[in-house]
Amino acid sequence: MTAQTGYPNHPKIAIYPGSFDPITFGHLDIIRRAIMLFDQVIVAVARNREKRPLFSEQERMEMIKNCVTDLPGVEVDCFHGLLVDYARKKGATAMIRGLRAVSDFEYEFQMALVNRKISEDLITVFLMTHDKYSYLNSSIVKELVSLGADVGCFVPAYVKERLYDKLRKK
């Protein structure tokens, strides 16, 4: 039996939503930790009206797919609208949220409570990223590339190339 449903042959599915603009080693660390807990992890690229992403949804999905080819059970998708609706549609009962520092927790805790109020069936699982990625986020990576820095220690080589190509065109 699985913990998700109590019935045999029902996979435990989790959604890992985010903007992933671009995906970093910190994100990949969370995905690797999540796939140890769940049968399937759907990395869901979200459309956030408050952000102006550097990469399109399709570009972000393609970069993520390139980075998770060695991880069975990981699916890449995108969604618009309410996360709880998307989770229901996908048959997920858990949402993965990565925490880098205590400062992330307050916002993530608030969002988890809102999601629980909307859908009591969707649980939030907080995963701490490895401490070597605790300071890392996509905005820092983009800023470093725009200033000419080498970001090979923060993102996979494929993502690094895509970043350099995109930011050199600007």
Dist CA 156 CA 110 (whole Å): 31
- Catalytic annotation on 103? no
- Catalytic annotation on 51? yes
- Catalytic annotation on 100? yes
Which among 71, 69, 90, 86 has a CA at the least distance from the CA of 11? 90
Instruction: Assess contact for 63 and 38: CB atoms under 8 A.
Output: no
Candidate list 51, 80, 89, 132, residue with the active-site label = 51
Candidate list 97, 100, 142, 162, residue with the active-site label = 100
Q: Is the preceding omega at residue 22 within 30 degrees of 0, hence cis?
A: yes
- The pair phi, psi for residue 41, each rounded to 5°, is -120, 120
Beta bridge partners of 20: none
Task: Give the position of tokens 């809102």.
Answer: 114
Question: And the tokens for 71?
Answer: 């991880």
Question: And the tokens for 154?
Answer: 């923060």
Candidate list 27, 97, 142, 162, residue with the active-site label = 27
Q: What is the DSSP letter of 8?
A: T
Which among 101, 82, 107 has a CA at the least distance from the CA of 15? 82
Candidate list 138, 142, 160, 162, residue with the active-site label = 138
Residues annotated catalytic, as ranges: 27, 51, 100, 138
